[in-house]
Each structure stands twice: as C-alpha cells, then as structure tokens.
Amino acid sequence: MIKGDRNVMFWNEDKDKQPEFVIPDDVVDIAYRIGCPTIPLDHAHTLSTAIRAALPWLDDEQFSGIHLIHGAASGNGWFRPEDVENELLHLSKRTRMRLRVPKRRLEEAQALTGQTLDIDGHTLEVGKSETYMLSSLPTLFSRYVISSEELDEAEFLQQAAEQMQEMGIHCRKMLGGITHTMSFPEGPVFTRSLMVADLEPEQSVRLQQHGLGEGRMIGCGLFMPHKGIDAVKKPQSK
C-alpha cells in the first residue's frame, strides 16, 4: 500500500455486542396440579402452615417462597374483592399451586405430590408438578409486598426503589396497585401490590430470586413476569 493513497479503515461490527444473557437455573418455580374446588381468599396463614409442616426445610432456604393461590376472577391482582375475610376463591382444574425453591431441593419439593392439605377446612389434594425457570422479561409483578399503613403510595415506591438499589437494581419504572390486609394469629399484615418495569434481564432474574422485603413464606415479595405496565395503565374498555 502506498502511503496517502487511500484511507485505512478498521471495522468490527460485533465490538459492542454483549454476550446473550443465560437465565440461571439455581432457583426455579415448581407448579403443582391441585384438586380443590374452593379455598378462602385470605389463606396465607393456613397455606403457609400446611406446606411448611410438609416441607420443614423451606424455612432454612434463603430463596424459597410460597406463592398464594389465585383464581381466574382475581383480575390479575389489580381489583379489590368486596369481602376479603369471608370470600371464597373458586378454582378451576387449570389452577396451580406454586413454590419457589432452589433447584437442588426439587426432588424433596416433589414429595408434596400425593399429599392432602387442610386449608382452613378446605381439602387441597396435591397432584403432579412441573418445573419452570425464572423469567428474563423486563416487567415483573408482585401481588403482595409488606408495607406500613403509615406510608402513602409515593413513600412506598421510594422505599421499594431503595431496597432494590441495595440489590444493585436500578429501577426505572414502578407502579403501585391495591392494598391488602392479611389475617394472622399475631395480627394483621398490610401489603401493597407492585409492578416493576424496564428491568435488564439479569436484574429481572435477581429480583425474582431475592424478592422484596419480608414474608416470602406467606406469599409476599415474590415477583412473577407480567405482560407490561402499559396494559395496566390503559383504561378498561366498556
């Protein structure tokens, strides 16, 4: 090449590409088929007590959690039932009971299959299970995050953002939902629902693994993937 004859260019199209994120499988969800026509809407205490009696190791596992059971008419957690204390959930054959557990505990968690649980006088027969990896979707939703009744929604969101920041999660978008009070022998537990959006894949998985706040054994602070924050903000068509 003769000096000055033409420009020399170095071009690498792949220089800014990041390695594709691989979802870790060290924490998973296990979903059980259940035989249970009805269950109390406020079943956090009795469900937690029954499952922890059957699987006592759950309390010793940092990333374990018990998802509460929801029927098809629950409005995806954005509508408040009229009678929380006395209302029953009517469950279909498609309803599942979910646990979040370390993968190494899967075999022990599957021991629930075939057992019958008493949920406040309602018989729940536990069937076969399927295992699901956590999601890398950017929008997550938790129906119940423990909060103080003294905090307004803005203060609740600020507290949640600070807790996520401590986990290395920079929160761009959040939306608070309805409040809910659970009944326990020790007293009521006040919660708010929370949607978090625009998460990076690694942050999404981290939030599902660690949860937010206390109460994983009673269904609180556990996040599931959601179709998106825009779907909630749009007005319902009549």
Nearest to 77 by CA among 228, 193, 208, 232: 193
3-state secondary structure of 103: helix
- Chain-centroid distance, C-alpha 217: 12
Is the model's pTM score more than 0.75?
yes
Question: For the chain, how long is the longest CA-to-CA vector?
Answer: 90
d(CA 15, CA 64): 39
> Which domains are assigned to the chain?
27-133 (3.30.70.1890), 140-233 (3.30.70.1900)
H or E element: which one contains 52? helix 44-54
**How does pLDDT run along the chain (238 residues), one tens digit per residue?**
445 555 566 665 555 566 788 999 999 999 999 999 999 999 999 999 999 999 999 999 999 999 999 876 554 444 545 556 678 889 999 999 999 999 999 999 999 999 999 999 999 999 999 999 999 999 999 999 999 999 999 999 999 999 999 999 998 999 998 999 999 999 999 999 999 999 999 999 999 999 999 999 999 999 999 986 654 454 444 3
Q: What are phi and psi of 162, to 5 degrees?
A: -65, -40
